[in-house]
């Protein structure tokens, strides 16, 4: 209907949350011409689309295949579970702590050392866009000297995935990235098969599924997914967490005093300002949701940013409140449905614990280096983005600790 907000229109990105409110209220299910999809926005419906196996990720293919190749996001059933199982242990408790915690700490420290004596930092450009990608590059055992390429690649992959308006330049850059990444990775994969090391890439090269190994092309696709999924999202989460705390000085002061509150600040940040705003699904059968029926085989756009602020699920959902009692910080690791920033169900973010660990380590170190952190004079931390979203710039000031 013409008076409904258009998720592709100019102005939507400036304030998606008021548009989300209109959609949740007036059009919890509607057909969106621009994306040729049914859009859902209520918590209950989006949570169901993530959890109910009638919804698959099949329709993702047109979006993911051209830029990544075949990844676990497009797979389902046993094939999905087996492939996911190849990386999952690296992102869980013991291995994460023993092997990768030092990697996370080292990468945070290196970036902070570059600005700790300056008394000022632009957090997005100098910290958050580098930290998570550097961690995943080290985990894979790739070369940090190529940092600028990895950063360019993950940015253009995410731009491709979020290219809802089908800008041809963005599409072309994404396809070029696929070729560049293949040209870069395939020789490295070949060498790693000959001489495996103690890294995630070697694990992917050696892993056997039902007696056969993954093809070089599949491993390259996995790396492509890890760079994009592990880079962009945590990047946005770090800067959004700081932007949210700085906008609520009493909560910032509480976290500065009691670092045990960081997981709460992280969970509330993911609810209030999720890095990923839209995820696609496809129902195998007709499915009834609030407001009507989604026909089998159609594409469904799940609005995470809208669901996370559904007043039916959260009290006063437009308020950032790390002390709220209707959100737990353990959802990542239990079946309890909570904020939807990591999705739910079989494709629940496999890197959730890694992201949480990165945020805890990074936030702790940043707060130590900047005990009196404040927004720089004149800074206006606006968010940008429709598919993924976070602060565009976050200039901060602080007294150097000497
Ligand atoms: C899946 C969000 C960090 C790797 C997902 C999904 C979401 C998500 C929403 C589900 C996609 C879907 O169902 O279509 C986030 C957020 C993060 C984060 C908000 C940070 C705050 C990471 C990290 C990694 C990672 C650090 C690891 C490098 C993945 C992978 C999947 C995934 C491989 C696919 C899982 C599957 O299909 O089974 N993530 N993610 N993510 N994430 Fe994350």
Q: How would you write the pLDDT of the chain (402 residues) with one tens digit per residue?
A: 446 778 877 778 888 999 999 999 999 999 998 889 999 999 999 999 999 999 998 777 778 889 999 999 999 888 899 889 888 887 887 877 788 899 999 999 999 999 999 999 999 999 999 999 999 999 999 999 999 999 999 999 999 988 888 899 999 999 999 999 999 999 999 999 999 998 999 999 988 877 878 899 999 999 999 999 988 899 999 999 999 999 999 999 999 999 999 999 999 999 999 999 999 999 999 999 999 999 999 999 999 999 999 999 999 999 999 999 888 765 444 444 589 999 999 999 999 999 999 999 999 999 999 999 999 988 888 888 888 999 999 999 999 987
Find out whether the beta carbon of 162 lies less than 6 Å from any atom of ligand 1. no
Find out whether the beta carbon of 341 lies less than 6 Å from any atom of ligand 1. yes
Looking at ligand 1, which atom is closest to the CA of residue 72?
37
Cα 394 to middle of ligand 1, angstroms: 24
CATH class entry, domain 16-374+381-397: mainly alpha
Find out whether the beta carbon of 294 lies less than 6 Å from any atom of ligand 1. no
CA distance 86 to 169: 35
Burial of 282 (0-12, 13-18, 19+ CB in 10 A): buried
Using only C-alpha atoms, what is the Rg of the chain? 21
Residue nearest to atom 18 of ligand 1 (CA): 233
Q: Is the ipTM of this complex over 0.85?
A: yes
| Nearest Cα to Cα of residue 111 among 55, 83, 151, 76 | 151
What pLDDT digit, counting tens, does each position of 71-93 carry? 999 998 888 998 898 888 878 87
CA distances from 182 to 50, 61, 84, 217 (A): 31, 19, 21, 8
Which residues make Cβ contacts (< 8 Å) with residue 354, sequence separation at least 6? 91, 96, 100, 135, 230, 234
Give the β-pairing of 120-122 and 383-384. Answer: unpaired
Find out whether the beta carbon of 303 lies less than 6 Å from any atom of ligand 1. no
Residue nearest to atom 35 of ligand 1 (CA): 347
The preferred substitution site among 262, 351, 358 for testing ligand 1, maximizing ligand atoms within 8 Å of CB, is: 351
Long-range contacts at 85-90 (CB < 8 A, ≥ 24 apart):
86/203, 86/204, 86/207, 86/209, 86/214, 87/200, 87/203, 87/204, 87/222, 87/226, 87/350, 88/350, 90/139, 90/200, 90/203
Cα 163 to middle of ligand 1, angstroms: 19
Find out whether the beta carbon of 283 lies less than 6 Å from any atom of ligand 1. no
Domain boundaries, the chain: 16-374+381-397
């Amino acid at each position: 209907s013409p008076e409904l907000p258009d998720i592709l229109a100019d102005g939507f990105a400036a304030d998606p949350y008021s548009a989300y409110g209109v959609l949740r209220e007036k059009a919890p299910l509607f057909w969106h011409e621009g994306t040729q999809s049914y859009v859902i926005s209520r918590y209950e419906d989006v949570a169901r689309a993530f959890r109910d196996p009638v919804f698959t990720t099949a329709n993702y293919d047109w979006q993911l295949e051209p830029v990544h190749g075949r990844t676990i996001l497009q797979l389902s059933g046993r094939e999905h579970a087996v492939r996911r199982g190849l990386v999952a242990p690296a992102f869980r408790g013991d291995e994460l702590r023993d092997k990768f915690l030092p990697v996370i700490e080292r990468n945070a420290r290196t970036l902070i050392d570059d600005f700790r004596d300056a008394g000022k930092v632009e957090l997005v450009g100098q910290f958050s866009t580098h930290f998570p990608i550097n961690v995943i590059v080290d985990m894979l055992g790739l070369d940090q000297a190529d940092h600028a390429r990895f950063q360019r690649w993950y940015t253009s992959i995410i731009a491709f995935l979020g290219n809802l308006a089908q800008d041809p330049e963005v599409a072309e850059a994404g396809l070029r990235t696929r070729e560049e990444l293949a040209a870069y990775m395939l020789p490295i994969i070949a060498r790693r098969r000959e001489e495996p090391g103690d890294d995630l890439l070697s694990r992917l090269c050696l892993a056997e599924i039902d007696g056969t190994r993954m093809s070089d092309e599949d491993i390259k696709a996995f790396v492509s997914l890890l760079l994009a999924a592990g880079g962009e999202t945590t990047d946005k989460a770090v800067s959004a967490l700081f932007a949210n705390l700085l906008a609520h000085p009493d909560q910032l002061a509480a976290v500065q005093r009691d670092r045990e509150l960081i997981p709460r600040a992280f969970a509330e940040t993911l609810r209030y300002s999720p890095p990923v705003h839209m995820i696609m699904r496809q129902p195998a059968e007709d499915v009834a949701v609030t407001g009507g029926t989604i026909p089998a085989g159609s594409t469904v756009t799940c609005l995470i940013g809208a669901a996370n602020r559904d007043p039916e699920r959260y009290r006063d959902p437009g308020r950032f409140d790390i002390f709220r009692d209707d959100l737990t910080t353990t959802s990542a690791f239990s079946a309890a449905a909570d904020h939807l920033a990591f999705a739910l169900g079989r494709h629940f973010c496999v890197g959730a614990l890694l992201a949480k660990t990165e945020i805890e380590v990074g936030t702790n170190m940043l707060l130590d280096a900047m005990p009196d952190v404040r927004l720089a004079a004149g800074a206006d931390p606006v968010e940008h983005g429709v598919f993924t979203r976070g602060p565009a710039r976050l200039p901060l000031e602080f007294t150097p600790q000497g």
